[in-house]
Amino acid sequence: MNKILYLPCLALLLIGIAVTAQDDPNPNSPSPVLVAGSESDRILLRGNASAYRQEPGRELRVLYPPANEWVTANIRNIQPLESEGANSIRIFVKQRSGKTFELDVRELKRLSKDEFAITFRVFDRSGFRGQPVADGDSLIYMTWRGNASNMLKIGLGSTGGIEIPKLLEPAGIRSSDPEYAGYHFAGDRIRFAEQAAFGPSPMLDMRLRRVGLRTWLAEQFDAPYPTFAYPDPPQSPTNPPSDCSLATFPTCYRERYTMIPLQKWFFTEALYGEAQLRHRTAWSLSQIWVTSGLTVQQSSHAIAYHKVLSRNAFGNYRQLMYDMTLNPAMGHYLDMVRSTRTNPNENYPREILQLFSIGLYMLNPDGTLRLDQNGQPIPTYDQATVNEFTKVFTGWTYCNITCQNSSPGIVNYKDPMILNPTNHDLSAKTLLQYPGAPNPVIPACTNCTDPEQIRNYAEQSLNMALDNIFNHPNLGPFIGKLMIQHMVTSDPSPAYVQRVGAVFNGETGSPRGDMKSLLRAILLDPEARGNAKTDPRYGKLREPVQLITSLARIFPAVDFNGENRSDGALASYANLMGQNPFNSPTVFNYYSPDYNVPGTSILAPEFELLNTNTSTRRTNFLHTLIFDGLTPNATDSLRGTSLTFSEFMPLAEADPTGTLLLDGLNARMMHGRMSLAQRDIVLQAVAAVPSSNPMLRIKTAVYLIAVSSAYQIQR
Amino acid sequence: MTISRRRFLAHAGAGLTMAGLVSGSHPFGIMSALAQTSDGGEPSDYRALVCIYFNGGNDGNNTIVPLHSDQSVSGYDHYFQARGPRGLALSQKSLLPIAVPRIGGSAYGLHPALGTVANGINPGLHPLWGTGKMAIVSGVGPLIMPITRAQYQSDPSVRPRNLFSHTDQTQQHHNSRADAVMLSGWGGRIADKITTVSNPNRLVPTVSSIVGPRLFTVGENEQPLSLGPAPTPLSSIFSLTGYNGTPIANARLAALEAQILLEKGQDLVEASNDIQSEALRISRTLNSANEVTAVFPATNLGNQLKQIARMIKARSALGVRRQIFYCSLDGFDTHNGQLLGQNALLTQFSQASRAFYEEMVVQGIEDKVTQFTLTDFNRTFDPAGTGANVGSDHGWANHQFVIGGAVTAADFFGINSSNGTPFPTLVNNGPDDADSGTGARGRWIPTASVEQYAATLARWFGQSEADMPFVFPNIGNFPVTDLGFMAAS
């Protein structure tokens, strides 16, 4: 069936056959198996006698779970790397109350060639939902690299009273095509295109198949960006010129002085741009280094900011820190532009520490919280530190006179900020103190007698302060985890964070802060790769922007009339679903990296945008997009947007049962993992549409898959 | 094309799978929804709490200002000395006077935006002081236990976590505790305890939010309903596009609903399914617009409070005797441009809140509905910047407004600071400043905790004493659990 799909492409593939992806290893990790005891559905445990109680009238001993009793279980079918320890494994207990607890795991030991011992205790370290209670049998399973093990019973206090639910429904039709050369892990290709790009367009999938992931990354690192030139609207004077005022010439005003040109360009580049990885990385960085058009209101300002992100997306994080610190949009947004020696402003210094580099708490190398002897997290810094950094960042302001883009009557957001020497604090500053910290103290300026000396001192101080932050051990795990969350999965295993964090901290040979190495580490990690992931908490909810772009790339978007490209006027739709791109409500982004699904301990940042209200809006938006297209309007979209389904017409026409269509959509949308139950449900709705109307059949199937939670979660 | 409720119900009756699959999975089926809506009648005892959250940290120091000249409790001079030279002081004559019985009848002034304003649609909140329908609680902030300035400065372990950080201080106002992360909020936990007692026949959750499930609204068990703001009518928030009753559409709808039951145990998928499922269920319940009478301003907060007023109007049909609401307004993080920014925001608050109060009067339940404010923190008394751009940085203890017929008096409430009143001494590096030394910027140490403030509201709402420790885990650390601003339940 997939031959039908790919026949037209075969010629193209043959041309490129010299370049193959034979270097790409099998991305699939095995699924772990928890070893059962003599009762085949019950976990085999070893531990001190004090951990157990004899169940009355039975041979069975049950675990009595005081928090400090460590027990050991056996695991088969994992192949950990040498560096992979206990923090690559997570053990969960589901109780009758409906609560799930993540247990404290201590040690992973190899017992034999293919059997390992994992030591844990029935204690949830976060304690966010309390602690497991001894109320009989609970269900226990483990996860490793995004795959879940079998589920077994564990008797807590007593046994009985619980059934092991049916295991996950078997997957639908797989769609790998081993007869073609190239990177033939079809599911993994689609997954990769969702993580590293704005969705799996047919062209991108073809390219990945041909060159493999690693080569594609190398190509992307050198790809020219952007494909579509940045818009270049003029900067508005304090009062817009009378021939472009909001009241009289709203179209002119909109195309010059609002965020709309940037938003349209952003979507155009996401839908059609070639340098997907850079665009996607810049988008992720924009959700860490947040500025907002709600404050910095013009595209011209925000574009200068976006250029800092995209320019440094494959560079070094230290340079990004420097460029962003002196970016006027950021300077305006977090008030550094008006922070002076006599009127210091704490906003930027606080947030560069809290949000852009190291975070509030001392971290272990795997991103988990370091705790003090009382079990409390250890603050990374305090208000006094913020005050000291505040002094460093004083005196910088817009370059309104002497720079390339300076122009009378215009505030210059295009050139980096410059120092006004009279406003810079010359006193000594005490910065972050940690072992090996560079520049724990910046001495007072001793020779600041003329403006040039002050400028040199301020510039030097700025670099010393940024080095002091940049070299903090938190940097790797803190930024590494955020980037993983934006690209791959909301709740990465500590081992994954540790691998990525070590790369970013420069512990593996590449320079500290090297973005290319970071991206390789994130995207090629075994926890990211594989045709399928079965860990129930693996993946992430598609944020509104990527819900739109992923569909608009799978079913190549055109304008409403189907003649040209879409104009990219999609921001208003994302906004209705809770995400107004580049107009974040606050510096804390559209959603918090620490957000948990309400009532659970499931870490899932993007869920902060999903509720009964926005979920209805998502469903309704998808209906309009898929069935009708987004109509042009005079306000911001002259051409509108619609999807094309021509790739799937042959499948829909060839098979009145709809099966071929579902197989094709399963491969492209669900990377071959649609459940059989869902397939049956969608097929019923498809069958209700006469086979004489294949287009309506396609739209019906695409809509139902797109609105399903199985698709809404990217995993 | 959107689906009307009637058409939806017709499908439900006729559909082969849908009614069974969806309504059967919830405690409230379609039939009980119909039964309840025809029930009618005013619940004998009704209460609602409406949280208005100011995102970003409202500058309380410019919201309530001393007008008197009694230096023993900080007069206008103290205020002007610190804020006047940098351009952040409000002029004495612009402030709206209120007499404060607790401070010997002394005069204080409300921010001018809280009274009559240009293009206003009502006289704002200020007149409610004169009619005794508004109270002010002073010196409120996150605390683990009562502390003195000396304790604060010498013992880091008594300090709330990550003071002066937005995210942390917001969380601490939402979940009420300052010493640990907690994934539920006190509004949600009140609902955890009160729902089965007071709302056994509810068709909607006890808690509703206009801005998504913010932490305040999330319980350990009870979860909030998320609504959008007016002008969207209540009855169309949850209506689905594209269902016109044809067999093809019916089959599609049946499939959409059947999919919601798939992949149980896949935590992320299930979490999304739960939300979709709840939205579908509510689409059958919120079937009337319940338009209100009072004129609301067509502002962000006005539209949020209008939607809340509609939900309150629908209380009988929805089968609820206790409701908790959450709405919020962005933009209070005024590090710069504060004078204009805060004026606009407080105007919005005052106009919307007053309109809401008037609607409650129309509905005859102004004594049963209480609005109250929360915000990240107060701001530094010492300004940030100067001139037109002047603003302020992150502070701590703040003043909060409580509005409704159930307040005991138009007065200041709270725990006295060293000056013998709940109002802080307005002196940088003074007895109420967490900062010290020459660089001290006036971040007031709270005298009353968020928990004491919240517990007072919860008690009026009908929460039992026995449940206090569940809802407010550190309430036992405080000798007083009722600040006295709410009438007996």
The predicted-structure confidence for A309-326, as pLDDT tens digits, reads as follows: 999 999 999 999 999 999
3-class secondary structure, A136: strand
Question: Which residues in chain B are classed under CATH 3.40.720?
Answer: 47-237+289-477
Please report the beta strands in B404-458, taking only residues with DSSP state E, as ranges in sequence order.
412-413, 448-449
* Residues A622 and A574 grouped into a single domain: yes
- Name the nearest CA neighbour of B345 among B366, B357, B360, B330: B330
* Residues A544 and A463 grouped into a single domain: no
* Residues A511 and A555 grouped into a single domain: no
* CB contacts, 8 Å: B163 with chain A: 383
Domain of A117: which CATH number? 2.60.40.10
* Residues A352 and A459 grouped into a single domain: yes
What pLDDT is recorded for position A270? 98
CB atoms within 10 A of CB B188: 31
* Residues A595 and A619 grouped into a single domain: yes
Residue A552 belongs to some domain of the structure = yes
Residue contact B251–A688, C-beta within 8 A: yes
The predicted-structure confidence for B276-322, as pLDDT tens digits, reads as follows: 999 999 998 887 878 999 999 999 999 999 999 999 999 999 999 99
The predicted-structure confidence for B192-202, as pLDDT tens digits, reads as follows: 999 999 999 99
Domain that holds residue A654: 540-714
Torsion of CA A461, A467, A469, A474, to 10 degrees: -170
The predicted-structure confidence for A15-72, as pLDDT tens digits, reads as follows: 444 444 456 789 999 999 999 988 889 999 998 888 888 777 776 778 877 778 899 9
* Residues A517 and A460 grouped into a single domain: no
* CB contacts, 8 Å: B329 with chain A: none
A248 and chain B: CB distance < 8 Å anywhere?
Answer: no
| Residue A688 to chain B, least CA–CA distance (Å) | 6
* Residues A518 and A553 grouped into a single domain: no
What pLDDT is recorded for position B180? 84
* Residues A44 and A68 grouped into a single domain: yes
More confident residue, B187 or A177: B187
What pLDDT is recorded for position B173? 97
Q: pLDDT at residue B26 above 70?
A: no
* CB contacts, 8 Å: B245 with chain A: none
Residue A316 belongs to some domain of the structure = no
* Residues A579 and A697 grouped into a single domain: yes
Residue contact B240–A689, C-beta within 8 A: no
3-class secondary structure, A151: coil
Of B256, B279, B393, the CB nearest to A704: B256
What pLDDT is recorded for position A167? 54
Q: pLDDT at residue A590 above 60?
A: yes
- Name the nearest CA neighbour of A291 among A383, A413, A458, A404: A413
* CB contacts, 8 Å: B436 with chain A: none
* Residues A376 and A360 grouped into a single domain: yes
Residue ranges of A 3-22 with Cβ closer than 8 A to chain B: none
Which pairing describes strands A147-148 and A100-112: parallel, antiparallel, or unpaired? unpaired
Region A387-395: mean pLDDT is: 97
* CB contacts, 8 Å: A98 with chain B: none
Q: pLDDT at residue B441 above 90?
A: yes
| Residue A598 to chain B, least CA–CA distance (Å) | 6
Region B441-464: mean pLDDT is: 97
What pLDDT is recorded for position A180? 52
What pLDDT is recorded for position A218? 97
More confident residue, B270 or A54: B270
Rounded distance between C-alpha atoms, residue A450 and residue A21, angstroms:
61
Of B164, B225, B242, the CB nearest to A623: B242
Please report the beta strands in A500-555, taking only residues with DSSP state E, as ranges in sequence order.
540-541
The predicted-structure confidence for A192-204, as pLDDT tens digits, reads as follows: 999 999 999 999 9
What pLDDT is recorded for position A181? 62
Residue A67 belongs to some domain of the structure = yes
Residue A97 belongs to some domain of the structure = yes
Burial B275-314 (b: 16+ CB within 10 A, else e): bbbbbbbbbbbbbbebebebebbebbbbbbbbbbbbbbbb
Beta-carbon contacts of B137 under 8 Å, excluding residues fewer than 6 positions away, are B399, B400, B402, B412, B413, B414, B422, B448, B453, B483, B485
Q: pLDDT at residue B393 above 90?
A: yes
The predicted-structure confidence for A223-240, as pLDDT tens digits, reads as follows: 999 999 999 999 888 778
What pLDDT is recorded for position B92? 96
Backbone angles phi, psi at A75, to 5 degrees: -130, 140
Q: pLDDT at residue B18 above 60?
A: no
What pLDDT is recorded for position B44? 65
* Residues A677 and A545 grouped into a single domain: yes
What pLDDT is recorded for position B23? 31
Q: Decide if A630 contacts A624 (C-beta within 8 A).
A: yes
Task: Read off the tokens for A179.
Answer: 């007869």
Task: Read off the tokens for A173.
Answer: 């039709």
Residue ranges of A 547-606 with Cβ closer than 8 A to chain B: 578, 585-586, 588, 592, 594, 596-602, 604
* Residues A356 and A415 grouped into a single domain: yes
| Residue B144 to chain A, least CA–CA distance (Å) | 15
More confident residue, B124 or A66: B124
What pLDDT is recorded for position A23? 61
What pLDDT is recorded for position A7? 41
Residue A235 belongs to some domain of the structure = no
Region A671-699: mean pLDDT is: 96
Q: pLDDT at residue B31 above 90?
A: no
Confidence of residue B452 (pLDDT cuts 50, 70, 90): very high
What pLDDT is recorded for position A9? 43
What pLDDT is recorded for position B16? 34
What pLDDT is recorded for position B9? 35
Q: Report, in this order, helix, strand and coil percent for chain B, each rounded to 5.
A: 40, 15, 45
A131 and chain B: CB distance < 8 Å anywhere?
Answer: no
Out of A391-395, A583-587, B455-459, which region has the weakest mean confidence (pLDDT)?
Answer: A583-587
Residue A706 belongs to some domain of the structure = yes
Share of chain A above pLDDT 70, in %: 94
Backbone angles phi, psi at B381, to 5 degrees: -65, -40
Residue contact A623–B225, C-beta within 8 A: no
Region A569-574: mean pLDDT is: 97
Q: Decide if B246 contacts B7 (C-beta within 8 A).
A: no
CATH number of the B47-237+289-477 domain: 3.40.720
The predicted-structure confidence for A134-178, as pLDDT tens digits, reads as follows: 988 999 999 999 999 999 999 998 888 788 876 554 444 444 444
Residue A6 belongs to some domain of the structure = no
Residue A626 belongs to some domain of the structure = yes
The predicted-structure confidence for A479-496, as pLDDT tens digits, reads as follows: 999 999 999 999 999 999
Q: State the complex-level ipTM.
A: 0.94
Long-range own/partner contacts, residues B153-159 (CB < 8 A, 24 or more apart) = B153/B434, B153/B436
Chosen for mutation from B161, B246, B268 (greatest number of chain A CBs closer than 10 Å) is B268
What pLDDT is recorded for position A236? 84
Out of A5-14, A392-401, A472-481, which region has the weakest mean confidence (pLDDT)?
Answer: A5-14
What pLDDT is recorded for position B390? 92
Provide the number of structural domains found in chain A: 4
| Residue A343 to chain B, least CA–CA distance (Å) | 5
